[in-house]
């Protein structure tokens, strides 16, 4: 435990919860970290439905990429909305390292095998971990990140209609996955389609086909950049009087893209 705490203490990333130190009170040992008054992500997005969900998820991806690039590698192992806190300035802070696995490739140490009942959350658990003979890996974190995306964009945890671990395991092991949380038509259809494809590849049944979190982080940043550019272009055209919003919304309802509309009104 001391070894794990020392590694956590040395971590320095804006989206990873800091460890200030340890406090021993008799037989009780306390870990001291900054208080995040906005609470967990799962509750924050319900209280603030218009918050920029893409940015929060990108921050989590960046935090995971940082942990996975650490030496020794750090695997979180329990990614879900309850384990992401929201800071005073509205940033996502990855927390709960009680289940984190620290791997030292030099020493040849691997994470202990993970079964369904080891404290992880079944709804977010990769199928290979349910077989009982597989260790948690960076790629099982990638799978859990896909389920976190479902939670954030749908507003509920994955598989909300399944109450028991047995039914969850059966569903996941037979290839069932949550429904698409996006509207794949309308103004945001291009962005939403890209996000949906990312989710699908992140939760692939074969971990070797899942992307590493550094790649996921890069793609999330690219999607955010494209979305911000689209919003700026639309805003500029409205300000310049080049777009009639009623006409534009009618155009979007027909399944057209912004760039197609701009091309139309630019001539």
Active-site positions read: 78
> Which backbone phi and psi does 228 adopt, to 5 degrees?
-65, -40
Q: How far apart are CA 196 and CA 190, in angstroms?
A: 10
The burial class, CB within 10 Å (0-12 / 13-18 / 19+), for 172 is buried
d(CA 75, CA 96): 12
Contacts of 176 (CB under 8 A, 6+ apart): 159
**What is the three-class DSSP state of 180?**
coil
Q: Tokens 């992500």, residue? A: 41
Q: Give the C-alpha separation, 141 to 69, whole Å.
A: 13
Token pair for 261: 């509309």
Q: Rounded distance, CA 148 to CA 58, Å? A: 11
∠ at Cα 58 (162, 196), nearest 5°? 50
Per the CB < 8 A criterion, the answer to whether 118 and 86 are in contact is no
Q: Where are the alpha helices (DSSP H) in 132-188?
A: 138-154, 165-173
């Amino acid at each position: 435990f001391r070894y794990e705490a020392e590694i956590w203490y040395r971590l320095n990333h804006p989206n990873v919860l800091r460890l200030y130190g340890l406090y021993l009170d008799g037989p009780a040992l306390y870990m001291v970290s900054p208080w995040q008054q906005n609470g967990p992500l799962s509750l924050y997005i319900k209280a603030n439905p218009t918050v920029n969900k893409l940015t929060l998820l990108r921050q989590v991806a960046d935090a995971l990429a940082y942990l996975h690039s650490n030496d020794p590698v750090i695997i979180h192992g329990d990614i879900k909305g309850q384990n992401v806190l929201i800071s005073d300035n509205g940033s996502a802070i990855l927390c709960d390292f009680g289940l984190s696995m620290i791997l030292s490739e030099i020493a040849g140490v691997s994470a202990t095998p993970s079964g369904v009942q080891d404290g992880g959350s079944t709804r977010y658990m990769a199928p290979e971990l349910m077989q009982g003979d597989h260790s948690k890996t960076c790629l099982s974190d990638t799978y859990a990140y896909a389920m976190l995306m479902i939670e954030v964009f749908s507003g509920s945890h994955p598989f909300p209609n399944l109450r028991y671990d047995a039914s969850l395991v059966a569903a996941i092991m037979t290839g069932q996955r949550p429904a698409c949380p996006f509207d794949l038509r309308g103004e945001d259809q291009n962005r939403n389609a890209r996000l949906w494809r990312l989710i699908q590849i992140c939760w692939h049944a074969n971990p070797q086909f899942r992307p590493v979190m550094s790649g996921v982080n890069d793609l999330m940043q690219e999607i955010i950049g494209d979305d911000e550019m689209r919003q700026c272009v639309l805003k500029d055209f409205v300000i310049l009087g080049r777009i009639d919003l009623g006409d534009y919304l009618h155009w979007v309802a027909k399944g057209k893209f912004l760039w197609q509309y701009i091309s139309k009104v630019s001539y």
